A = this chain, B = another copy of it.
Amino acid sequence: MNEDLIYLDHAAATPLDRRVLVAMQPYFSEQFYNPSSPYAPAIVVRRAYEEAKHVLARHIGAKSDELVMTAGATESINLAFSGIEGHIVVPNIEHHAVLAAARAHDCTLVEADSRGFVSADSIKAALRPTTQLVSVAIANNELGTIQPLRDIAQVIKFEREARLLRGDITPLYFHTDASQGVGQIDINVARLGVDLLTLNAGKIYGPKQVGLLWAASHVRLMPQIVGGGQERGLRSGTENVAGTIGFAKALSLVIEHRKYESDRLTSLRDGLQHKLTAAFTEAIMSGHPKHRLAGHLHISFPQLDAERLVFALENRQVLVATGSACAANKGTRSHVLTAIGLAPEIADGSLRLTLGHLSTEENIARAGDIIVEEITREYARVKR
Residues of A within 8 A of B (CB): 1-2, 5, 9, 12-18, 21, 28-34, 36-42, 70-75, 77-78, 95-98, 100-101, 104, 202, 207-210, 224-229, 236-238, 240-243, 307, 310-311, 314, 319-322, 325-326, 328-330
Contact = CB atoms under 8 A, between A and B. Distances in A.
Nearest to A318: B39
Nearest to A323: B38
* Residue among A17, A95, A224 with the highest chain B CB neighbour number at 10 A: A224
Nearest to A79: B225
A236 B74 contact: yes
Contacts of A326: 36, 228-229
A41 B101 CA distance: 31
Contacts of A78: 224-227
Given A96-B236, A236-B96, A101 B37 contact: no
A72 B238 contact: yes
Nearest to A315: B40
B32 A14 contact: yes
Contact of A208 (B42, B240, B329): B240
A18 to B, nearest CB: 6
Given A71-B75, A75-B225, 12 more contacts: A9-B33, A12-B34, A16-B28, A18-B29, A21-B28, A36-B325, A36-B328, A71-B71, A74-B237, A96-B229, A209-B209, A209-B237
A209 B243 contact: yes
Nearest to A81: B226
Given A209-B237, A227-B74, A237-B75, A15 B34 contact: no
A370 to B, nearest CB: 14
A240 B340 CA distance: 32
A28 to B, nearest CB: 4
Rank and list the top 5 A-B pairs by shortest CB-CB distance, nearest first.
Answer: A97-B227, A74-B237, A71-B71, A100-B226, A13-B34
Given A32-B16, A208-B240, A229-B96, A38 B307 contact: yes
* Residue among A74, A225, A310, A314 with the highest chain B CB neighbour number at 10 A: A225
A16 B38 contact: no
Contacts of A34: 9, 12-13, 325
A98 to B, nearest CB: 8
A208 B241 contact: yes
Contact of A319 (B41, B98, B226): B41
A331 to B, nearest CB: 9
Nearest to A104: B226
A96 B101 CA distance: 27
B96 A228 contact: yes
Contact of A1 (B5, B13, B32, B100): B32
A228 B94 CA distance: 12
A140 B276 CA distance: 63
A8 B125 CA distance: 61
Given A36-B328, A96-B229, A224-B224, A13 B238 contact: yes
Contacts of A21: 28-29
Contacts of A71: 70-71, 75, 209, 237, 240
